[in-house]
Chains A and B, each alone.
Chain A
Amino acid sequence: MILTNVSTVPGKTIVEHFGIVQGSTVRAKHVGRDIMAGFKNLVGGELKGYTELLQESREEAVRRMAEQARTLGANAVVNIRFATSSVAQGAAELFAYGTAVRVE
C-alpha cells in the first residue's frame, strides 16, 4: 500500500479512483501516564507518554484507512489528511482520511 499526502503518487499514474477512505480511533490515556504527565506539567517539556500514545493511535488510524482501501481493491491512498479532536475529557480522536486509488 502506497500512502502519500499529495494528489498523485510521484512517478506513477493513477488508473482508477475509489473515492474517500477513512480510519479513526479514539484513545484514552491510562491513569499512570496521566499522573506522570501531571508532574511533567509543572516543569514543562515533552510529555513522552502522550507523544507515544498519539503516535500509536495515528498509526492505528492509518492502518484502518489502508485496510478499507485494500478491501476496495486499491493499492494506494493519496491526499491523506490527519485531524485530531478531543471528544471527551482525557480521550482523543485521531482521524485519517484520503482518496483510494489504483496506480501503475
Chain B
Amino acid sequence: MLEIVLNNLGLFLFVGLAVLGYFAGGLAERRHYRSIREREAELVHLPVVSSEDILPDRPVARSCLVTGSVVVSIDYFKRILASLRNLFGGRVGAYETLVDRARREAVLRMKEQARRRGACMVLNLRLETAVVGRSADKKRGLGSVEVVAYGTALVPPRG
C-alpha cells in the first residue's frame, strides 16, 4: 500500500490538492458571497454612479477620492477545471465568479471608505482589473486578479 502511494506521489498530491481546493475553495467562495450580499444590502443607500454629471440635490461641502481594492485568487480545483475548459472553449464559470467576487468586493470597500468619510454619493466610479502574482504561479499564468475601484465621494455639510 505504502509502496503504491510512494510510487504515485505526484498523482496523490495532485488529487489531494484538487480535493482540498474543491472543498476549501467552495466553502470560502460561498462565505465570501454571503458577506458580499450582506454588505451590499447594508450600503444600498449610498448611491454610486459611473457618470460625472449626476449631482446630488444637497449642497456639497467637500469631495475626496475614495478607493477600494482586493486581490483574489482562484483555488486549485477550479484552476484545473479552467484548464480543461481551455481544450473545448466556451464559458469559464470558474473565472467568472472570481472576477465577479473581486469587483463587487472592491466596490464595497470603496463604499465603506466613502461612508466612513460621511459621503452621501460617489461619482464617476472606475474599475481597473490587473493580473498579479504571476511569479507565485509561473506555470499556469492567471491565478489571481486585482481589482481596484475608485471614485469621487461627495460629502454634504455637517448639521
Contact = CB atoms under 8 A, between A and B. Distances in A.
A28 to B, nearest CB: 9
A58 B60 CA distance: 27
A5 B29 CA distance: 32
B128 A84 contact: yes
B133 A47 contact: yes
Given A43-B76, A54-B69, A83-B128, A10 B63 contact: yes
A90 B63 CA distance: 35
B62 interface: yes
The number of chain A residues touching the other chain, given as a range, is 35 or more
B135 A5 contact: no
Contacts of B148: 54, 58, 82, 84
B60 A11 contact: yes
Given A3-B65, A42-B20, A50 B146 contact: yes
B146 A54 contact: yes
A29 B136 CA distance: 10
A51 B131 CA distance: 12
B134 A89 contact: yes
Interface string B57-71: 001111111010111
A11 B45 CA distance: 22
A86 interface: yes
Contacts of A11: 59-63
Contact of B71 (A34, A47, A85, A90): A47
A43 B17 CA distance: 8
B71 A44 contact: no
Interface of B: 17, 20-21, 24-25, 28-29, 32, 52, 55, 59-65, 67, 69-76, 78, 105, 123-124, 126, 128, 130-138, 143-144, 146, 148, 150-152, 154
Given A46-B32, A51-B70, 20 more contacts: A5-B65, A6-B123, A7-B52, A10-B123, A10-B154, A34-B136, A37-B136, A41-B74, A41-B133, A42-B76, A43-B24, A44-B72, A44-B73, A50-B133, A50-B144, A51-B71, A58-B148, A86-B131, A90-B134, A92-B132
Interface of A: 2-7, 9-11, 29, 34, 37-38, 40-47, 50-51, 54-55, 58, 62, 80-86, 89-90, 92
18 contacts: A5-B65, A5-B124, A6-B52, A6-B124, A10-B123, A10-B152, A11-B61, A29-B133, A41-B143, A45-B25, A45-B32, A47-B71, A54-B146, A58-B69, A80-B65, A82-B148, A82-B150, A89-B135
